[in-house]
Amino acid sequence: MNDKAGIPDSWILLDSQSTVDINKKLLKNIRDAKKVLSLHCNAGIATVNKIGDLPGYGTVWFYEDGIANILSLNNVKKKYRVTYDSTAYDCFEVHKADGTKRVFQPSKKGLFY
């Protein structure tokens, strides 16, 4: 668990405000990126120069000092159909091509993981 944010390292957050996919714990094949990302957040700007492969999803940025593993909702919807029903399920469902789906449910603090 990340002591700063209280977010378990095993969680992947689906974030509607993020514009990049970034991970710190769940990647394979971590390597240098061909370009550098200037990651803007409320704590300032971080320079990210590594990428890795998130199994079942694809290549994302690797930022070891991050407080969470994040998938941008905007990027996810480019790859998969995403549904949300606040009344029936209160979760985001990411529908994969093989017919399976990944469910992002809200934590007690309202983060969809």
Domains and CATH numbers, the chain: 12-104 (2.40.70)
Residue 4 has pLDDT above 60, yes or no: no
Compute, in degrees rounded to 10, the torsion defined by CA atoms 8, 9, 15, 17.
100
Q: What pTM does this model have?
A: 0.88
Q: What is the mean pLDDT of the chain?
A: 91
Q: What is the pLDDT of residues 56-93, one digit of tens each?
A: 999 999 998 888 999 999 999 999 999 998 888 899 99
Residue 29 has pLDDT above 80, yes or no: yes
Q: What is the pLDDT of residues 90-103, one digit of tens each?
A: 999 999 999 999 99
Residue located via tokens 């095993």:
10
First to last CA, the chain: 14
Q: Looking at residue 46, what is its pLDDT? A: 86
